Structure 1
Amino acid sequence: MKLSRRGLIGGVLAGGAALAFPLPAMAVGTEWRLAIRNVHTNESVDALFARNGAFVPAGLAELNHGLRDWRTGQATIMDRRLLALLVRLRDKLELTGRTKIDLISGYRSPATNASLRAKGGAHTGVGSQSQHMLGKATDIKVAGVRLDRLHGAALALGGGGVGYYPRDGFVHVDTGRVRHW
C-alpha cells in the first residue's frame, strides 16, 4: 500500500471508527508517545499517539510517516500493538517518553524486502514473509543502552518476535507470534 504523507494523515483522520478499539492497560490520564530517529535520514518524529485509552490520529499519522520505508518513501499504517510494544520496551528500560529510539528499519515495501533478500540471501534474517512488510516490525537501537540490555528487555516483554543482531548493532522487535533468534 503506497501512501503519501497527506493521504496517510487524511486516511487516519477519516478512519475514526477504526481508532475506537481500546488500548491495553492504559490508565485514565495516561499518554503514550514515541520519539524515533531514522538513522539513515536523520529525520526525527516525536508523537503523542494515545491518550486516556484512545488513539490520537495526528500522532499515529506522524509515526506512520516516520516509520516508512526510507528507501522508497512508501508508508503503511503501522500496527498499533507495535507502537504500544515500543512504549512498553522504552518503559522497561526506564527511559523517558522523549528518549529517541534509533530506527534502522520500520515498514519495508515488498520491493525493498525482495531487494534485501536478493543481496544477502535468507541467512541475513530478511524473511520472504517479513513482519516489516505488514507494518508489524522494527529494527532498533537506543543511544546509551547496551544492545544486550535492549535485547533482554524485549525478550522479557514477550510481545512477539525478537531478533538479536549484535554484529549489525540492532534488535528486531515485532508483534508476530512469540519467538526469538
Structure 2
Amino acid sequence: MQITTDRDVGSVTTSKCSAPLSRRALIGGAIAGGAALALPLPAMAVGVEWRLAIRNVHTNESVDAVFARSGRFVPAGLAELNHGLRDWRTGDTIGMDRRLLALLVSLRQKLELGGNCKIDLICGYRSPQTNAKLRARGGSHSGVASQSQHMLGKATDIVVPGVSLDRLRGAALALGGGGVGYYPRDGFVHVDTGRVRHW
C-alpha cells in the first residue's frame, strides 16, 4: 500500500510527541473525545479533527492519519489506519471499529499528549488464523479468547512511549469505553469497544 504525504490524508512520520496541549485545547478535545463515544460522529463541531498516529512495534511502520473532520469520516485516513492496524503476521486487514479509533483519540487526550504523539501498537486486528495459532501456542498468549475482540477489529494492545502502564491503564479505565486488560508482564494494555469490563 502506498502511503501518501498529504497532511489531510495520512503520512508516514518520525516526529516525536509534541508538548502537552493548552488547557483550552484539552477541554475542547475532551468534549470532542467524549462525544465520539456518546454521539454519532456528525455531531462533531466544525473544524474538529480526529487524528491518530501509530507505530507498529513489529514492523516499525508508522502511520499518522486524520480519520474524521467536522463530523465526517475521511475515507483515505480510515484506509491508512486499517492498514496500520492490520494483522502484521498475515497482512490481513479489516475495517476497524470507528468507535475504537475515537476511543484511542480520547485516551491520548486523557493522557494530555499532543495530537501527533504516536501510540505503539502491539496488536490491532487479528485474523482468525492468527488467533487460533496464538491460542494453541499458549504461554504468554494463554489468555487469548476464542472470540477475541481483535478478530472483530474492536481491540488494540498498546503502549504509549513515556507513559507508565499503570497510568495508561488508569486513563483507559476512567474513559469507560469498553474492555481494559492490564498485562504488565507482557508490557501492554488492551483496550476494546466491547462491554465495559476489566481484568
TM-score band (shorter)? 0.7 to 0.9
Residue pairs, 1:72-83, within 5 angstroms: 72-83=90-101
Counterpart check, 1:63 vs 2:81: yes
1:138 to 156, 160, 169: 156
Whether 2:51 is the aligned partner of 1:30: answer: no
Q: Within 5 Å, give how 1:16-55 maps onto structure 2.
A: 22-23=40-41, 26-55=44-73
**Residues 94-133 of structure 1 aligned to structure 2 (within 5 Å):** 94-120=112-138, 124-133=142-151
Alignment gaps of 5+ in structure 2: 3-38
**Contact 1:22–1:54 (Cα < 8 Å) also in 2:** no
Partner of 1:10: none
Runs of 4+ in 1 over 6 A off after TM superposition: none
Length-normalised TM-score, structure 1: 0.86
Q: 2:54, 2:120 within 8 Å by CA — same for their partners in 1? A: yes
Task: Give, in whole Å, the separation in 1 of the partners of 2:43 and 2:114.
Answer: 19
> Is structure 2 residue 170 aligned with structure 1 residue 152?
yes
**Cα distance in structure 2, aligned partners of 1:121 and 1:41:** 23
Does the C-alpha gap of structure 1 residues 25 and 94 become closer, same or farther in structure 2, counting only changes over 3 Å? farther
* 1:128-166 per-position Cα deviation (integer Å, ceiling 9, x unaligned): 000000000000000000010000000000000000000
Report if the CA contact (8 A) 1:161-1:175 is conserved: yes
Q: Does 1:172 align with 2:190?
A: yes
Residues in 2 aligned to 1:49 and 1:104: alpha-carbon distance in whole angstroms = 21
Q: Could you tell me how far 1:29 is from its partner in structure 2?
A: 1.2
How far apart are the structure 2 equivalents of 1:148 and 1:46?
25
Taking the aligned partners of 1:30 and 1:69, their CA distance within structure 2 comes to 30
Residue by residue over 1:93-122, the C-alpha shift from the partner in whole angstroms, topping out at 9 and shown as x without a partner, is: 000110000000000000000000000169
Equivalents in 2 of 1:150, 1:41: separation in Å? Answer: 23
The amino acid of 1:29's aligned partner reads: G
Structure 1 position 39, deviation (Å): 0.2
Q: How far 1:27 sits from its partner (Å)? A: 2.0
Q: Where do 5+ consecutive residues of structure 1 fail to align? A: 7-20
Under a length normalisation based on structure 2, what TM-score does the superposition of the two structures give?
0.78
Give the total of aligned pairs. Answer: 163
- RMSD over aligned CA atoms reads 1.7
The residue identity in structure 2 corresponding to 1:116 is: L
Identity %: 83
